[in-house]
Amino acid sequence: MPEQGALSGLTIIDLSRLLPGPYASMVLADHGARVIAIEDKRFVSDGFFVTTVNRNKEHISLNLKTPKGQEILRKLVSMADVLIEGFRPGVVDRLGIDYERISRINPGIVYCSITGYGQSGPYRDRVGHDVNYLATAGVLDLIGKADEPPSIPGVQIADIAAGGMNAVIGILLALIARNQSGKGQYIDISMTDGLLGFLSIPLWFQQMSGAGPRRSDAVLSHRYACYNTYATADGRYLSIGAVENRFWKVLCAYFGVPRYTDLQYDDAHRLEIIDFMREQFRQKPIAHWEAEFGALEICYARVNTLEEVLELPLFRERDMVLDSPDGNGEMLRQLGIAVKLSRTPGTVRTPPPAFGQHTEALLLELGYAAADVEMFREQGVI
């Protein structure tokens, strides 16, 4: 039997909404932390209660603008290790739940704020969403066709990677530091800051060549045939990532064009080679190319749809696509746990809770009576 999760014994208070903070707290919950998510029911009607990032959590409805709501939060904070919030800068100060005040209640608290542009700087007070952060950080300019407007990705890169994942990293670093010093600290996560790390390779190429990257016209973005996408006969797409010449050589040999092996990055022949590859790939369906390349040392992969991904043996066998019962006994499709630990693996223990599902139980745990809970409902505290 596996031991408890790596974060068992830790309690996380999550005041965030939507995606970055809830994703971060789900990762922590998957690995054993007790996560208590707090949201105000006044805002549930916006339709963005994202259940796919809420498993393994308890959920309480709480109005932080009421004195009793503040009192309940202080009690929760006093027993917590981490607080996550995703309000706009200044909101927690107005609510009286900023780091300085929270740390007086609990000096060991690790307090993580996730915002679009950070707690300082000229963009501090700007509103925004994923597309805006991608645009500001220069990432969006590198996505899409060269002769068309930038394409907005169909996934939330800033929210998940630059926000949620960086928050997890920051929280774990702060917890390690607390183990050494006994002191908590404040974490300022800017999603736009986090996106700059995605520019490491474009920056390196710029420093090497002296020329800035252009959309769909870089070594690792469509400029050469060896790192490109190709349409197949059945309207599907195949990706080729033969960056190293040894992989490219195998592909050239397969198509009977060994002369292209040493012209892999030759600008004078690049369009000729791309056109040749396009013509080859459009002659057969995607299944043909998968069968042909399966035993060859070629970096390839079909461009899968979401439906295909959910049924792919790769993810099924690695427990990255799971079917587990929801609160009503129906089977719920969930994405698995990517960080796989051998001794203390993460687990999917409970389904996403309904909004406010654990409100009463948590209040009773904090020492409030059933009559208090009913009064809180009448007063709009919960």
Tens digits of residue pLDDT in 273-295: 999 999 999 999 999 999 999 99
Tokens in use for 22? 């809830």
In order of 34, 36, 138, 139, 306, the CA distances from 26 in angstroms are: 10, 10, 29, 26, 21
Which has the minimum average pLDDT: 47-51, 243-247, 342-346, 349-353?
A: 47-51
Please, which residues bridge with residue 60 across strands? 38
Neighbours of 57 (CB within 10 A): 24
Domain borders along the chain are 11-197+337-379
What spatial distance separates the first Cα and last Cα of the chain, rounded to whole Å? 39
pLDDT at 1: 43
Q: Is the pLDDT of residue 94 over 60?
A: yes
Model confidence pLDDT, tens digit, residues 116-164: 999 999 999 999 999 999 999 999 999 999 989 999 999 999 999 999 9
Which has the minimum average pLDDT: 54-63, 76-85, 236-245, 326-335?
A: 326-335
Tokens in use for 4? 């408890």
pLDDT at 263: 98
Coil, helix or strand for 237? strand
DSSP 88: P
- The maximal CA–CA distance of the chain, rounded, in angstroms, is 83
pLDDT at 47: 63
Q: Is the pLDDT of residue 48 over 90?
A: no
Q: What is the mean pLDDT of residues 309-324?
A: 95
Q: What is the mean pLDDT of residues 3-16?
A: 94
CB-CB contact of 228 with 277 (8 Å): yes
Nearby residues of 376 by Cβ (< 8 Å), 6 or more positions away: 68, 363, 368, 382
| Catalytic annotation, pick one of 14, 30, 81, 159 | 159
| Catalytic annotation, pick one of 129, 269, 288, 358 | 129
Model confidence pLDDT, tens digit, residues 211-256: 889 999 999 999 999 999 999 999 999 999 999 999 999 999 999 9
159 is catalytic: yes
Neighbours of 145 (CB within 10 A): 12
Distance from C-alpha of 51 to C-alpha of 122, rounded to nearest angstrom: 34
193 is catalytic: no
Please report which confidence band the pLDDT of residue 2 belongs to, taking 50, 70 and 90 as the band edges.
low
When the candidates are 3.40.50.10540, 2.70.180.20, 3.30.70.1400, 3.30.420.40, the CATH number that belongs to 11-197+337-379 is 3.40.50.10540
pLDDT at 44: 63
